[in-house]
Structures are given as structure tokens and as C-alpha cells.
């Protein structure tokens, strides 16, 4: 399916540089994306329509079965007292490794700054950072849970970064070994991802929400 893009929203629990291995030994890239107002309504409508499309597809392919709608990949955000905040939280995820006929393939999430420049080294991205997300809808059907849509994370554009502080454990600067974290790994591919996910080519099939 065509790659889609969100409007600006807030990132929570981002795992976009290093995959999360808590529930999957191979790891998952993921981010929870919070948005409110008209932008939330528009994205919700699009996701709901994709869910219904998945149900109709499953019914066509399984005419003798009763197909139900699976859980949607978003939820309402509540405050500490259980009251609605007016935000919706969408879940985007991409497996860090997939199996192909030629063997396992490592997957990456493209990360760009506000100017569209690829970010090739991890940054300390905290909850509440403002981002846009590029994703690919994945229609699926599982008899036990129903037909639905998942949102495959393809790229993240960081508009406003909130950094968390790394813990230096109180150590000061000393003479001795130094480590250089700067390299150009993946810069060429990342530049291509910039053009693919957040370009302005009007001939592309991609859509913004």
C-alpha cells in the first residue's frame, strides 16, 4: 500500500534508533504518536476506513466465515484522574528483522530533522518531542482476533526535539581514552529515505493526514 504521513504530533516511548527487545528477541522499532483536534479526527477516520477495508477483504476471501473487526491501533488518552485529554494515541511499529525467501533481513527506520536532513547517530529523544510519522498500512486477518490494520513505522521526522539527560554518574572529565561517535553510516540511504518519505513530489501516491 502507499506510504502515508501524519500531521505534527507528540512522540511517546520512541524506539526509533535502537529496537525494543522486551517482547521480541529480534526487536521492534516503535513510537506512540499523540495528536488532538482535527488532525486526530482525520487520522482516526483514515485508520477506521482501512480497518473496514480489511474486514471486507477478509469476507471476500473467507465467504463461509463470520469476520469481526480486530482491535484498532489507537486509543483515547486519559489524564491521571481518568478524564479524556482530547488526544488520541496511535501505535506505529516495525519489526527490526524480517524473514524473506533469501533469509533474514534487517529493517531500519529513517529519522530526519526538521529540515529533512537524515539523522544517522542516535539522539536522546524524550517523551513529548514533536514529530511527523511516515507509515505503511498493513491489512491482516487472524481468525482468533479478526481483520484489521496495523501501522508499519517507516520514518520519523523530528520537528522539535526534547532531550533527556544521559546519566554520567557524577564522573568528571579526565585525561585518557576518548571515543568518537561520529560516523557516516547509512547517510546515503538515509538521504534517499528523506526523499521517499517526506519529499514534496506531487506525482507520488503518498498522502498526508
pLDDT at 188: 53
Q: 43-58, pLDDT tens digit by residue? A: 999 999 999 999 999 9
pLDDT for position 204: 47
- The pLDDT assigned to 70 comes to 98
In the prediction, which pLDDT does 164 show?
85
Task: Report the SS3 class of residue 68.
Answer: coil
Q: Which of 99, 97, 98, 94 is nearest to 111 (CA)?
A: 94
Per DSSP bridges, beta strands 129-142 and 4-5 are: antiparallel
Q: Find out whether 153 and 31 touch, Cβ atoms under 8 Å.
A: yes
Alpha-carbon Rg for the chain, nearest whole angstrom, is 19
- In this structure, the chain runs to a length of 209
Specify the pLDDT at position 197: 73
Check whether domain 4-165+178-199 has CATH 2.40.50.140, yes or no: yes
Dist CA 34 CA 139 (whole Å): 22
At residue 184, the pLDDT reads 52
**Contacts of residue 134, Cβ cutoff 8 Å, sequence gap at least 6:** 3, 4, 5, 6, 110, 154, 155, 156, 157, 197, 198, 206
Q: What are phi and psi of 197, to 5 degrees?
A: -90, -35
Residues of the chain with pLDDT under 70: 166-173, 178-196, 199-209
Tell me how crowded residue 129 is: count the other CB atoms within 10 A of its CB: 21
Count other C-beta atoms under 10 Å from residue 166's C-beta: 7
Question: Residue 83 has what pLDDT?
Answer: 97
Which is it for strands 97-100 and 84-95: parallel, antiparallel or unpaired?
unpaired
Amino acid at each position: 500500500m502507499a506510504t502515508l504521513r501524519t500531521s505534527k504530533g507528540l512522540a511517546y516511548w520512541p524506539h526509533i534508533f535502537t529496537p525494543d527487545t522486551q517482547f521480541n528477541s529480534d526487536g521492534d522499532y516503535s513510537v506512540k504518536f499523540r495528536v488532538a483536534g482535527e488532525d486526530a479526527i482525520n487520522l482516526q477516520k483514515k485508520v477506521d476506513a482501512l480497518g473496514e477495508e480489511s474486514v471486507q477483504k477478509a469476507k471476500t476471501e473467507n465467504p463461509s466465515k463470520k469476520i469481526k473487526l480486530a482491535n484498532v491501533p489507537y486509543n483515547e488518552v486519559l489524564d491521571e484522574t481518568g478524564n479524556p485529554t482530547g488526544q488520541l494515541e496511535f501505535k506505529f511499529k516495525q519489526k527490526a528483522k524480517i524473514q524473506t525467501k533469501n533469509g533474514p533481513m534487517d529493517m531500519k527506520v529513517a529519522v530526519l530533522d526538521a529540515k529533512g536532513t537524515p539523522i544517522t547517530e542516535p539522539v536522546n529523544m524524550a517523551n513529548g518531542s514533536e514529530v511527523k510519522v511516515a507509515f505503511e498500512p498493513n491489512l491482516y486477518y487472524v481468525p482468533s482476533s479478526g481483520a484489521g490494520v496495523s501501522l508499519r513505522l517507516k520514518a520519523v521526522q523530528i520537528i522539535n526535539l526534547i532531550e533527556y539527560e544521559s546519566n554520567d554518574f557524577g564522573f568528571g572529565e579526565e585525561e585518557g581514552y576518548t571515543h568518537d561517535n561520529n560516523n557516516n553510516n547509512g547517510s546515503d540511504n538515509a538521504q534517499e529515505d528523506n526523499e521517499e518519505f517526506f519529499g514534496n513530489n506531487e506525482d507520488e501516491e503518498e498522502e498526508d493526514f
